[in-house]
Amino acid sequence: MITAGIDVGSVSTKVVLLVDNEIKYLVRPTGWSPRYAGEQTYHELLAQVGCKPENVAYRVGTGYGRISLGFIDKAVTEIHCHARGANYLVGRGGLVIDIGGQDSKAILINQQGKVIDFTMNDKCAAGTGRFLQVMAAALGVDVSELADLAAGRNPLEINSMCTVFAESEVISLLAKGADKRDIIAGIHRSVARRVWGMASRFMPAEQVIFTGGVARNHHIKDQLAREAGVPVIVPELSQVAGALGAALYARELAEKC
C-alpha cells in the first residue's frame, strides 16, 4: 500500500510517501503559495518514486498550509502528526520538542505515541526558526553555519524577547566590537531558554525527541540537553516527522476504508 503525508510549513514543504514500510521523502521551500508548494512537492516525489497518483491509497495534509490543499483526503493537526511521526522514528514516547520556521511546540506522548498534553508558541517569532533566520541575516551568515560558529564560545546576553528589538541589540553589540561568534552563542542560548521555558512543564520525561528544521542545529540540541538533563534525540528524518506522521495516519485511515 502507498500512502502520503503532506506537511506544508511556513518555510518548507515536506512530503512523505510510505511505500509499504519504506519511507520516501522530499523537502522543498514553501515560497509564496502553500497550495502550489504542496501540489508541486507531492507530484515531484511521486515522479521520483515512479508512482502514479491513482496508486496512492490515502493522502493526509498537515502544517499551517493544510487547509489550502485541494487534493488531500483529510487534514490532521500538526500536534498529532508530529507526535506520531516522532514516536515512529524514536519509539518509547517522551517529550517531543518541535521547532519550525514560525512556531515551536512541546508535546508529551506516551509509549504508544498518543498525545497526553501539549503546548505551543505560534504568537511570537522568538524561540522559532524565524528568529534564527533574522539573526543570521543581520550577521551576514547562513542559518546552516550558526551552530558551528556558536560552539565553544562565550554567549553574550540577548535581553530582548521581541525579534525586532533583539535584532537591534545584535546590531549594537556588533557596533561595540563584540565577537560575532559570542553574539551567535547568545542567540542560541536565548532560543533554547525560550523553548525550554515552554517545554519544561512536561518534565520529568525519559527522553526528549527534537524535531523540525531547527533540530538540524546541533548547538540548539546541546543547549536543550543541558537544560533537560535527559538524552535529547534528533532522529535522522527529524525535519519530516510531521509529514511522516501524516502518512502513518493516512495508512491507518486507508486500512479502515
Per-residue x/- track, 77-116, ligand ADP (CB under 6 A): -----------------------xxx--------------
Site track for ligand ADP across 129-148, x = CB under 6 A: xx-xx---------xx----
If the CB atoms of residues 217 and 254 are measured against ligand ADP, the closer one turns out to be: 217
41 touches ligand ADP by CB under 6 A? no
Q: Which amino acid is at 241?
A: A
Query: Residue 123: helix, strand or coil by DSSP?
Result: coil
- Binding of residue 34 to ligand ADP (CB under 6 A): no
Picking from 8, 87, 56, the residue whose alpha carbon sits closest to that of residue 251 is 56
Q: CA dihedral in degrees (54, 89, 22, 104; nearest 10)?
A: 40
Give the separation between CA 73 and CA 4, rounded to whole angstroms. Answer: 10
Residue type, 65: G
Please identify, among the stretches 109-117, 124-132, 202-210, 229-237, the one whose residues bind ligand ADP according to the rule CB under 6 A.
Answer: 124-132
Name the nearest CA neighbour of 190 among 176, 169, 175, 204.
169
For the record, the C-alpha cell of 51 comes out as: 508512482
Helical residues (DSSP H) of the chain, grouped into ranges = 34-49, 78-90, 129-139, 146-150, 163-175, 180-199, 218-228, 241-256
In whole angstroms, the minimum distance from the beta carbon of 116 to ligand ADP comes to 23
Question: In terms of DSSP bridges, do strands 12-19 and 22-29 run parallel, antiparallel, or are they unpaired?
Answer: antiparallel
Q: Is 12 in the site for ligand ADP (CB under 6 A)?
A: yes
> What size, in residues, is the chain?
257
The C-alpha atoms of residue 88 and residue 121 are separated, in whole angstroms, by 24
- In this chain, which stretch among 4-12, 38-46, 51-59, 168-176 interacts with ligand ADP, using CB under 6 A? 4-12
Shortest distance (Å) from residue 163 CB to ligand ADP: 12
If one asks whether residue 150 binds ligand ADP (CB under 6 A), the answer comes out as no
Q: How far is the CB of 256 from ligand ADP (least distance, A)?
A: 28
Q: 19 with 2: CB under 8 angstroms?
A: yes
Residues 176-215 that bind ligand ADP (CB under 6 A): 212-214
Beta carbon nearer to ligand ADP, 2 or 87: 87
CB of 130 to ligand ADP, least distance (A): 6
C-beta of 2 vs 30, nearer to ligand ADP: 30
Torsion 236-238-243-244 (CA) sign: positive
Site residues (CB under 6 A) for ligand ADP?
9-12, 63, 100-102, 129-130, 132-133, 143-144, 212-214, 216-217, 239
